[in-house]
Amino acid sequence: MLKNGDVIVGEIKSMNKGVVVIETDYSKSDFTVEWSGVKEIYSPVVFMLNLTGGRKMNGTIQSIPGTEKVIITTADGQKSDVKVDDIIFLKGVKADFLSRLSASVDAGFSLSKANNLQQITINTAIGYTANKSMLDFYFTMVNSTQDNIDPTKRTDAGINYKYELQKDWFLATSVNFLSNTEQALKLRTIGKLGAGNYVIHTNRSYWALSGGFSYNNESFTNGTAGRNSVEAYGGTELNLFDIGDLSLFNSLFVYPSLTESGRVRADFKFDTKYDLPHDFYIKLGLTLNYDNRPAVAGKESDYVVFFNIGWEL
């Protein structure tokens, strides 16, 4: 039951980032409803639930009529009353593969008569959410050509894995790849292992802090000898995803080297996404990489600003 009095009868597939997905027998497409608009919920299905404060439970949900609370009943019969607003994630324990999958792709293209300037940008992301873990893959490519100037190319890709613990703690590992002509990087491969905590974790936003260690392997296109280094890292991520149809994401990670004295790298990312009808969206973003000891003097930073149109699953 919604706060405007509407009643939807169907299967609750998931709720994440403030949006609940409901499948019904009378519609070919799933309903998506803002969680803040839900008044009451009744379901015999067993859900995996994440609550504010890092609490995690498995159980059925029944609203307490006339209140903004639900009763969660676990398999052993224990009952807990929880505010609807304290539920930040839920998914049916027996959810199929596709319902746990997320994907998005967006692209942008620009053409200028002057010097025949052409630029194409492509962003792709695929994610999978299991009971206590998340796996995602991303790929970003920027390719720019112009008469009488060498092509500018940048490719960024990676695989991230996160395992959630109690009280909003998590373990994280990833392998990331970067290639760009601005810094003469043929390939930078980074393996990371660390842990973190959600300082804020609600169905409207999250703010996470994390840290750990990374291994950096680099090869270059300008004849500079390859480098290997062990680094510490610390970072922060802030995601605001309940600003109407607008969402904001930014992250900053700093990598002081443990084996190259005085070397520091940093990666910064900022994305703004506005949702359109039929799962389309527009996105404006900035990605910046900094290295105080690059292979090319005077090329400490490389950045990309893009404006794309995309679609997501």
Question: 117-132 pLDDT, tens per residue?
Answer: 678 889 899 998 776 7
Q: What percent of the chain has pLDDT over 70?
A: 94
Q: What percent of the chain has pLDDT over 90?
A: 35
Write down the pLDDT at residue 296. 80
If asked whether residues 147 and 296 sit together in one domain, one would say yes
If asked whether residues 59 and 206 sit together in one domain, one would say no
Write down the pLDDT at residue 187. 94
If asked whether residues 108 and 134 sit together in one domain, one would say yes
Q: Between residues 71 and 146, which one has the greater pLDDT? A: 71
Last residue of a domain, one of 75, 95, 115: 95
13 and 45 Cβ atoms separated by less than 8 Å: no
Instruction: Evaluate if residue 251 carries a pLDDT over 90.
Output: yes
Write down the pLDDT at residue 113. 56
Q: Which band of pLDDT confidence, cut at 50, 70 and 90, is reported for residue 209?
A: very high
Sheet holding 56-63, edge to edge: 31-34, 19-23, 11-16, 87-92, 42-51, 56-63, 69-73, 79-83
Provide the whole-model pTM: 0.76
Instruction: Evaluate if residue 230 carries a pLDDT over 90.
Output: yes
If asked whether residues 84 and 107 sit together in one domain, one would say no
Instruction: Evaluate if residue 110 carries a pLDDT over 70.
Output: no
Q: Is residue 21 part of a domain?
A: yes
Domain that holds residue 38: 11-95
Q: Which band of pLDDT confidence, cut at 50, 70 and 90, is reported for residue 30?
A: confident
Question: 170-193 pLDDT, tens per residue?
Answer: 999 999 999 988 888 899 999 999
Instruction: Evaluate if residue 99 carries a pLDDT over 70.
Output: no
Last residue of a domain, one of 95, 116, 143: 95
CATH number, position 37: 2.30.30.100
Residue 232 sits at φ, ψ, to 5 deg, of -90, 165
If asked whether residues 224 and 259 sit together in one domain, one would say yes
If asked whether residues 43 and 108 sit together in one domain, one would say no
Q: Between residues 170 and 91, which one has the greater pLDDT? A: 170
Query: Mean pLDDT in the chain?
Result: 87
Q: Is residue 231 part of a domain?
A: yes
Q: Is residue 3 part of a domain?
A: no
What is the DSSP secondary-structure string of 41-91? -EEEEEEEEEEGGG-EEEEEEEE-TTSSEEEEE-TTS-EEEEEGGGEEEEE
50 and 64 Cβ atoms separated by less than 8 Å: no
If asked whether residues 58 and 138 sit together in one domain, one would say no
- Angstrom CA distances, 64 to 10, 14, 165, stand at 19, 21, 29
C-alpha dihedral (275, 276, 277, 278), degrees to nearest 10: -70
If asked whether residues 150 and 298 sit together in one domain, one would say yes
> How far is it, in rounded angstroms, from Cα 70 to Cα 41?
8
Q: How many CA atoms lie within 13 A of 172 on its CB side?
A: 24
Instruction: Evaluate if residue 92 carries a pLDDT over 80.
Output: no
Residue 31 sits at φ, ψ, to 5 deg, of -85, 140
If asked whether residues 137 and 224 sit together in one domain, one would say yes
Residue 29 sits at φ, ψ, to 5 deg, of -110, 145
Structural domains counted in the chain = 2
Q: Of 108-112, 272-276, 301-305, which gets the smallest average pLDDT?
A: 108-112
SS3 224: coil
If asked whether residues 113 and 223 sit together in one domain, one would say yes
Distance between the two ends of the chain, CA-based, in angstroms?
25
Q: Which band of pLDDT confidence, cut at 50, 70 and 90, is reported for residue 95?
A: low
If asked whether residues 173 and 115 sit together in one domain, one would say yes
If asked whether residues 278 and 143 sit together in one domain, one would say yes
Last residue of a domain, one of 62, 95, 128: 95
Q: Between residues 26 and 188, which one has the greater pLDDT? A: 188
Across 75-132, the runs of DSSP E, i.e. the strands, are 79-83, 87-92, 101-112, 117-129
Q: Is residue 213 part of a domain?
A: yes
